[in-house]
Amino acid sequence: MDDDLDAMPGGGSAAGGRGFLIAGAVVAVLVVAAIAGRSLMPPGPGGGGGSTEGVVAEGKRLFESRCSSCHGNSGRGDGPIAQGLSGPGPGDLTDDDWKHGDQPDQVIAVIAKGIPGTQMAGWDSAFDEGQIRALAAYMYRLAGREVPEELQREQAE
C-alpha cells in the first residue's frame, strides 16, 4: 500500500500537498464567484467588459431583430419596409435631432408607449423593462452620444 501513496503526484508529504490544493481551489472558487457576481452576463468576445457594453450589446441585438425593418440596422431609417409606411417616416436615429426628446425617460416612453398617429408602436408588451432600457441605451450609442448613467444597468436601482 505504501507503494501506492508514493506513486501519487506530489510525492512525499501527500497530506500537506492536498491541503495546499484545497486552499488553492477555495481561492479559485471565491475569485470566480466575485467575477460572476459583478457581471452575470459577460459580454461576448471583444465586448469590452463594462456593464455599459453589456447593456448596449443587448440593445443592439434587440434593435437589429425587432426595429430594423423600419429603422434599418444602421438606424438611419432605411429598413426594408420604411418606404411603405403611412405617416411620417422613421427618421434618422443616428443624428442628434431627437424629435421626441433626448432625456432617458422620454426615450423610454417613446419605445414603451410608441408615438400616437405614427407607425412607431409601443413595445411594452413585447419587452420587459430591462430590455426597453437596453434599447434606450442603444439609441444613445446610435446617435453617437454618451449612454446616460441611469441606463447603464439593466435594472433601475
CB of 152 to ligand HEC, least distance (A): 17
Count of beta carbons in the 10 Å neighbourhood of residue 85: 15
Which residues of this chain interact with ligand HEC, rule CB under 6 A? 63, 66-67, 69-71, 85, 88-91, 93, 98-100, 107, 110-111, 115, 118-120, 123, 135, 139
Residue number with CB closer to ligand HEC (57 or 70): 70
Q: What single letter denotes the amino acid at residue 108?
A: I
Q: Between 2 and 96, whose beta carbon lies closer to ligand HEC?
A: 96
Place of cell 452620444: 145
Closest approach, Cβ 124 to ligand HEC, in A, equals 10
C-alpha cell, 63: 434593435
Residue 108: Cβ within 10 Å count: 20
The span from the CA of 153 to the CA of 148, in Å, is 10
Closest to ligand HEC by CB, 55 or 110: 110
Between CA 42 and CA 134, with CA 147 as vertex, the angle to 5 degrees is 55
Shortest distance, position 9 Cβ to ligand HEC, whole Å: 56
